[in-house]
Each structure stands twice: as C-alpha cells, then as structure tokens.
C-alpha cells in the first residue's frame, strides 16, 4: 500500500461563480496551485460569466450550517478564507461555527460588489461584518470601495488609506491589507498594516480588462500560505507575486472581463524545461 502524504488544508467559505473566474472556483484553483488541499463551503450560487452576474441564489441557511458542521466534524482546516457571505445572518452563522470549531488563520475578504457592479452582500450586512467577522480575522483584505464602506472614510490618497487601515485594525483584525487595484496609478500598491508599521507591496500595473477574480485569488493565496505556517509578511508577499503573474500572463476566456490565469506560475516553470 502506498504511503499517505501529509498535506496542509485550506477552506473557503464563499459564493460559486459559474464562470470559474472568481469565488469558490478561484479559491480552490489557487489552493491547488500552492499545493494545499482545498475545501469549500458555499454560501450562494451565482449565475455569472465574464460579462456580469445574471442571478444570485443563496444556499438555505441550514445547508450552509450543515456544510460547516460536516467540515468541522472531520477535517480541520489549517487556514480559512471567507469571500461572498451574502447576508448579515449568514455572517453571524459562519462566525459562530469558526469559533465553535476553533479555526484559526482566518482571512476575511469582505466581498461586497462584483467588478460589473452586481451586489454580492446586503447593505445590512456591514454591521455584522464588523461585529462578528473582524474580531476573528487574522487578516482582512478589502479593496478601496470595501475599506471605504467599512470605515466610512473616503480614500482619496495615502493619508486616508493609512487612517482607514488604523480603523480596520481597531475593529479587531491582526493585519489589514488594503488593496490598490482600484486606484489609477502606474504601479499597484497594497498597503499592509500590523498595528505598528505600514508597508506597501508594489508592482507594475498590468493594463488589461481581464482582472475578474483578482481579489479572491489574492486572498486565497494568502490563506494557502498561512496554511503552510508562513508568516503574514511572507504570505502577503508571495500572494502578491502570484496574482501579478496570473494577471500578466492572461488567458483568452469569454467576451467580457476575463479571469486571471491561475496556472501561470506552473506554465512558466513547464515552459522553462
Ligand atoms: N491591473 C492590475 N495590475 C497588477 N496588479 C493588480 C491589478 N489589479 C489588481 N491587482 C492586484 O490584484 C489584487 C486584488 O486587487 P483589487 O484591488 O483588484 O481587489 P478586488 O477589487 O477585491 O478584486 P476582485 O473584486 O476582482 O476580486 C491586489 O494584490 C492588487 O494589487
Ligand atoms: C461568487 C463571487 N465572489 C466574488 C466575486 C468578486 O470578484 P470580481 O470583483 O472580480 O467580480 C464575484 N464576482 N463572484
């Protein structure tokens, strides 16, 4: 009989993107690329492609809770990430189960609106996000509009982004990463704050319309690295390299805002041999 290999495991609690570029699909693809065993708990099914979101169908609450219980009673994740959580009620429930099972290394990507503008989280859910999820988070990874919604600050430049990071840290996350994809600069900077120091992860902006799922992919990569036991500093640095490569080596999929290339790293290695 073959010997069983010990693997690190990561869980994503998020929505399904039928088009395969964001949500659960982006997360599990990313886990796989990092060599981490991926698990998923679905909050909602979206009918979606590269042109937009055509429908959102939440999983019934007891279905969500049964998935969490099934994972918790058998498979202990080394890291957990949350993406689209759909509603305040679902957020409260997910937070309850994370505490109940003692899951750590929690990456909270506070997904609110899809790139095309469709809402993926009810407005009433903001308070639940602050009250139940942020105190459990090892790291929160909002984009600029999400950081603005959570803090009530308009982020017009560096000073405001620093202030927003301080506010988010005080809401309970150990680390805050405010991603800069939505700013217009030639370089894309992600601000990282640990309650002590602010630092920036910077790389060249790729001028492309194919950035569907960048945030999901980045936060899943952070979770994969944390599952391995990497420090947060190394986790975010490697996640930034991974997403940069995935955007630079784009793939031709769909007629709208296409997905990033989750297997870009592997393909580059393959081509070198
Ligand atoms: N055009 C780009 N070129 C290079 N890096 C980018 C670009 N757009 C986004 N990124 C990087 O991708 C990651 C996600 O950033 P972004 O601000 O787009 O998140 P997001 O809006 O949550 O993504 P999404 O909603 O598409 O999942 C960050 O690490 C950011 O630096
Ligand atoms: C199920 C699901 N989760 C997250 C996103 C955000 O990704 P994007 O902002 O790139 O549309 C999405 N579109 N769908």
pLDDT per residue over 214-247, tens digit each?
A: 999 999 999 999 999 999 999 999 999 999 999 9
Residue 191 CA to ligand 2 center (angstroms) comes to 21
**Is residue 15 within 6 Å of ligand 1 at its C-beta?**
no
Give CA–CA dist 263/270, Å, rounded. Answer: 11
In a domain, 197, yes or no: yes
Answer yes or no: 214 catalytic. Answer: yes
Q: Based on the structure, what is the number of domains in the chain? A: 1
212: Cα within 13 Å, side-chain hemisphere = 27
The CATH number that applies at residue 155 is 3.40.1190.20
Tell me the average pLDDT across 75-93: 97
In a domain, 3, yes or no: no
In a domain, 2, yes or no: no
Residue nearest to atom 9 of ligand 1 (CA): 181
Percentage of the chain lying above the pLDDT 70 cut: 97
**Is residue 19 within 6 Å of ligand 2 at its C-beta?**
no
Residue 28 CA to ligand 1 center (angstroms) comes to 18
ipTM value = 0.97
Give CA–CA dist 198/211, Å, rounded. Answer: 26
Q: How far is CA 19 from the centre of its chain?
A: 17
pLDDT of residue 269: 58
Ligand in closest contact with the CA of 115:
2
**What's the chain's average pLDDT?**
95
Ligand in closest contact with the CA of 55:
2
pLDDT of residue 182: 86
pTM of the shown model = 0.97
With 0-12 / 13-18 / 19 or more C-beta atoms within 10 angstroms meaning exposed / middle / buried, residue 152 is exposed
Kindly report the number of other CB atoms within 10 A of residue 76's CB atom.
12
In a domain, 111, yes or no: yes
Kindly report the number of other CB atoms within 10 A of residue 161's CB atom.
23
Instruction: Say if residues 242 and 29 touch (Cβ distance below 8 Å).
Output: no
Answer yes or no: 211 catalytic. Answer: yes
In a domain, 34, yes or no: yes
pLDDT of residue 185: 87
Domain residues for 25? 9-272
pLDDT of residue 201: 98
**Is residue 143 within 6 Å of ligand 1 at its C-beta?**
yes
């Amino acid at each position: 009989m073959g010997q069983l290999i010990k693997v690190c495991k990561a869980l994503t609690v998020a929505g399904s993107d039928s088009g395969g570029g964001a949500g659960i699909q982006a997360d599990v693809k990313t886990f796989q690329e990092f060599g981490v065993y991926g698990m998923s708990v679905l909050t909602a099914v979206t009918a979606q492609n590269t042109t937009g979101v055509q429908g959102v169908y939440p999983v019934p609450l007891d279905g969500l809770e049964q998935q969490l219980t099934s994972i918790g009673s058998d498979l202990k994740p080394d890291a957990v990430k949350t993406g689209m959580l759909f509603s305040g009620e679902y957020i409260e429930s997910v937070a309850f189960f994370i505490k109940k099972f003692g899951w750590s290394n929690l990456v909270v990507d506070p997904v609110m609106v899809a790139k095309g503008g469709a809402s993926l989280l009810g407005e009433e859910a903001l308070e639940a996000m602050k009250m139940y999820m942020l105190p459990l988070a090892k790291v929160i990874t909002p984009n600029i509009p999400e950081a603005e919604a959570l803090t009530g600050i308009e982020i017009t430049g560096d000073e405001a982004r620093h202030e927003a990071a301080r506010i988010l840290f005080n809401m309970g996350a150990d680390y805050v990463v405010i991603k800069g994809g939505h700013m217009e600069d030639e370089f894309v900077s992600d601000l990282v704050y640990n309650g002590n120091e602010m630092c920036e992860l910077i790389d060249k902006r790729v001028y492309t319309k194919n950035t569907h799922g960048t945030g999901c992919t980045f936060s899943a990569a952070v979770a994969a690295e944390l599952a391995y036991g990497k420090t947060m500093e190394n986790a975010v640095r490697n996640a930034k390299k991974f997403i940069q490569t995935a955007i630079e080596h784009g793939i031709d999929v769909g007629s709208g805002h296409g997905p990033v290339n989750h297997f870009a790293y592997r393909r580059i290695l393959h081509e070198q041999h």
